[in-house]
């Protein structure tokens, strides 16, 4: 996607990721070619540097018929990468916990006292084992991707 800047009195007034559909009563403004846009004060932006993971500063400078965008950036530190990995793991465990809690809540209806009393011993055992397996998931599995969901009894 091509960036543009609106220039007025040789100053950058606006930087946009994409041109507006309509601008100052000009319909389909975004379809104009670069020459027509230049006549209306819009200049294309050219990137002057490679952009890395962490952007520290962005500056714009009018040079001839373009706007030069200079980006000062750096790679992420090992600490930042580890923090992101930890945050992703925490989020994945939260998703597992929510799914597990939903399965437990859904199974509550199967073990209400009036149904429970009508079940045979094998069915009661199956539901007890299933629900305990759901509760044990955080203790049994080391990572969220390792989780194997127990089979719900019939």
What's the pLDDT score for residue 47?
Answer: 87
What's the pLDDT score for residue 68?
Answer: 94
What's the pLDDT score for residue 148?
Answer: 96
Q: What are the b/e assignments for 59-90, b being 16+ CB within 10 Å?
A: ebeeeeeebebeeeeeeeeeeeeeeeeeeeee
What's the pLDDT score for residue 80?
Answer: 94
Q: Of 4, 19, 9, 20, nearest to 60 (Cα)? A: 4
What's the pLDDT score for residue 116?
Answer: 87
What's the pLDDT score for residue 89?
Answer: 94
- Ranges in the chain, pLDDT < 50: none
User: What are the residues facing 5 on neighbouring strands?
Assistant: 15, 43
First and final CA of the chain: distance in angstroms?
54
What's the pLDDT score for residue 138?
Answer: 92
């Amino acid at each position: 996607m091509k960036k543009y800047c609106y220039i007025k009195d040789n100053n950058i007034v606006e930087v946009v990721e994409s041109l507006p559909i309509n601008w100052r009563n000009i319909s389909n403004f975004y379809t104009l070619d670069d020459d027509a846009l230049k006549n209306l004060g819009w200049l294309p932006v050219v990137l002057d540097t490679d952009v890395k993971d962490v952007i520290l500063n962005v500056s714009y400078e009018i040079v001839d018929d373009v706007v030069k965008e200079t980006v000062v950036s750096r790679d992420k530190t090992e600490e930042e990468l580890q923090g992101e990995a930890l945050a992703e793991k925490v989020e994945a465990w939260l998703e597992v916990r929510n799914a597990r809690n939903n399965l437990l809540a859904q199974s509550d209806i199967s073990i209400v006292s009036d149904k429970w009393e009508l079940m045979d011993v094998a069915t009661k055992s199956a539901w007890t084992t299933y629900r305990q397996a759901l509760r044990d998931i955080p203790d049994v599995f080391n990572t969220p991707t390792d989780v194997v969901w127990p089979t719900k009894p019939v």
